[in-house]
Amino acid sequence: MKRVLLSLAVVTLAACSFHPAPDSNPTPAQIAAASNTGTAQANTPPQPMSAHGLAGWVGQEFAGRTTANGEIFDPMLMTASHRTLPFGTLLDVHNSKTGQTVRVRVNDRGPYVGDRLVDLSYAAAQQIGIADSGGGEIDINVVKMGRGEREPPAAFNVTVPDTSAVAATPTPAPAPVPAPTMTQPQPAAPATVESVQVTEEHAGVETRRQVAANGTTIEDVPVKTSPLPPSPAPTPRVTPQPQPQTRAAAPRTGRYVIQVGAFSQETNAKALQKKLAGIGQDATIDHTSLYLVRIGPFETRDQAAGVRAKLEAAGISAIITSQ
């Protein structure tokens, strides 16, 4: 009986020993995975899905510059700058005073001046009615969180031609130029005179005598001369001077205008006005809180769209507004 109980105790202890203990020495891959997971969670701060604050806008003065994500800034695209939201984030920006909303994409960092929440492009600010006032209070709502991609700048490659082969090629010597040949002048042939006419005057009468080569007179004819009438004095030619035509300036009326730029400095607005005059477009500068460069007005939107198409063909962005 004692032997049976002892056998049962040994079997029970052996069965308990088959449960594996947890691994106290994890592999390097397991340690790296746990570390990356913790770092990713620590480096991704939570972003607010909506906020209220002030918005400004950026216009033509920064066109062509590189944004923080590597894009080229265009004030006529629907973009915005934010201090922390990832690049590519889509925002709905709402102006509660006008009830207008515009959707923009974050492609830059800022603003770093004042207490503004975002800076919009000029086209986006115009869409919600804060361009003329220079900014205003807005509400933003995150539609889709971006992944923070950066657009790398375009590579600038310079090709230097290999001049070693050109330098090793000998320059051919110029061919000798033959000396000019001196031509001896040929003696002129003697002139042969068959007859000579001589005019003489006898007793106030002029006589024309034709003498042969041997000296004999061939013909003797009196010359009848009559006083020629005096030539009339030339009449001075008077060229009529073109008279300047005065054209009365027709009053320009219409509902639609093309806004090409908005500047805080008048010199920049005049520079754009001069550039437009160079391509045949008559622009005016309206001064409110900013210097607005505009073309128009036009009676219909189609007329304004035709002029805007010409501006875009010349590389100039513009928007159509109603007044």
Whether pLDDT at 139 is above 80:
yes
Single out the residue in 93, 112, 144 at which a domain terminates.
144
> Taking a C-beta distance cutoff of 8 angstroms, is the pair 50, 138 a contact?
no
CA distance 304 to 258: 7
Tell me whether residue 41 is in a domain. Answer: no
| 29-38, 72-81, 175-184, 229-238, range with greatest mean pLDDT | 72-81
- Least confident segment among 42-46, 140-144, 283-287: 42-46
Look up residue 259 and give its DSSP letter: E
Mean pLDDT of 293-300: 89
Single out the residue in 144, 173, 194 at which a domain terminates.
144
Tell me whether residue 174 is in a domain. Answer: no
Tell me whether residue 287 is in a domain. Answer: yes
Is 22 or 165 the better-scoring residue by pLDDT? 165
Tell me whether residue 263 is in a domain. Answer: yes
Buried b (16+ CB within 10 A) or exposed e, 43-77: eeeeeeeeeeebbbbbbbeebeeebebebebbbbb
Tell me whether residue 95 is in a domain. Answer: yes
Mean pLDDT of 163-184: 64
Phi, psi for residue 67 in degrees, rounded to 5: -85, 180
Tell me whether residue 189 is in a domain. Answer: no
Tell me whether residue 301 is in a domain. Answer: yes
Mean pLDDT of 207-219: 62
The CATH number of whichever domain residue 287 belongs to comes to: 3.30.70.1070
Note down the domain range covering 285: 256-322
**Structural domains in the chain (count):** 2
Single out the residue in 88, 122, 144 at which a domain terminates.
144
Tell me whether residue 106 is in a domain. Answer: yes
> Given the DSSP bridges, would you call strands 100-108 and 79-81 parallel, antiparallel or unpaired?
parallel
Mean pLDDT of 271-283: 90
The CATH number of whichever domain residue 71 belongs to comes to: 2.40.40.10
Q: What is the pTM of this model?
A: 0.38
Give the tens place of pLDDT for each residue, 229-253.
565 666 666 555 544 343 333 455 6
Whether pLDDT at 290 is above 50:
yes
> Taking a C-beta distance cutoff of 8 angstroms, is the pair 113, 70 a contact?
no
